[in-house]
Amino acid sequence: MGQNADIQSQGSLYNQALMIVSASYRTDIPAFYADWFAHRLELGFAMVANPYGGKPYRVDLAGDKVDGFVFWTRNMEPFKANLATITDQGVPFMVQYTATGYPRALEPSVIASDRAVASIEGLANQYGPRVVVWRYDPIIYSDLTNADFHRRNFAQLASQLSGSVDEVCVSFAQIYSKTRRNMDLAAQNHDFTWSDPDWDIKQALLEDLQSTAADHHMRLTVCSQPDINAAPASCIDVARLSDIAGHIIKARQKGNRPGCLCAESRDIGAYDTCPHGCAYCYAVKDREKALANYRRHDTENELLVRT
């Protein structure tokens, strides 16, 4: 999995990037849609509903048409067979793996943090420590998860993951209207309060988390928040994928929002389809709708969820 010493000399042997496939920052495909993905992988393509309107579009998944996969998840265990298939096809992949260990009032149905840690360790042991990026994301300020909680909680997780990952990606919750509504509902139902503090307060916490990450041989990066003084993240990371592949993968930078350094990719997920129910989730407007979409998805359909 390590980068070849002569990687630069090999670069001319490879054509321009075909495409990096993202699965998915819109939902948790590895946790909930592993069988659907396996069927689409077998057929070599998926259709994706355009989240901005217009006709669905095709994304190729065949090994000779994909430069690499980036998976986003809170539970990779249901997806192990798919990783084996992708590996057999010779296609590199990386995993953005979220493990936060928050109270159930905020995360009612994610796997426990010790299970997530064990899963990350298993991936690192099997595929190498460059394959997984740990995400402590988003950072939520509440009377259940204040700054001291984050310092302690982050330190415990970093200690457990030391040696299995070399990067931790963080961000502070961005409060969209749907986020505010869902956080307010969770606070009402579970009797807690939450806030969105000023950037100087966030910066002070971040500096402590940076120090802790460094103590455990991790580089801390920040996802799409240029107001914070820290290394920006590249979550669709062409350099990491190139290292894993052992050859140069070419892709232009094409961020999704200010401060985003992601390489260009095609995402095959859909909003309002993740049933984890996290109160802060930007990808779910209505949890009941997400549950309904999950329950009615068809593993043999070209689309993740029929429109």
Encode pLDDT of 154-163 as tens digits: 999 999 999 9
* Stronger pLDDT, 302 or 8, i.e. the higher one: 302
Q: In this structure, are strands 20-23 and 266-267 parallel, antiparallel, or unpaired?
A: parallel
Which residue ranges make up each domain of the chain? 7-296
pLDDT tens-digit readout, 187-228: 999 999 999 999 999 999 999 999 999 999 999 999 999 888
Specify whether the CB–CB gap between 34 and 79 falls below 8 A. Answer: yes
pTM for the model stands at: 0.93
pLDDT at residue 11 tops 70: no
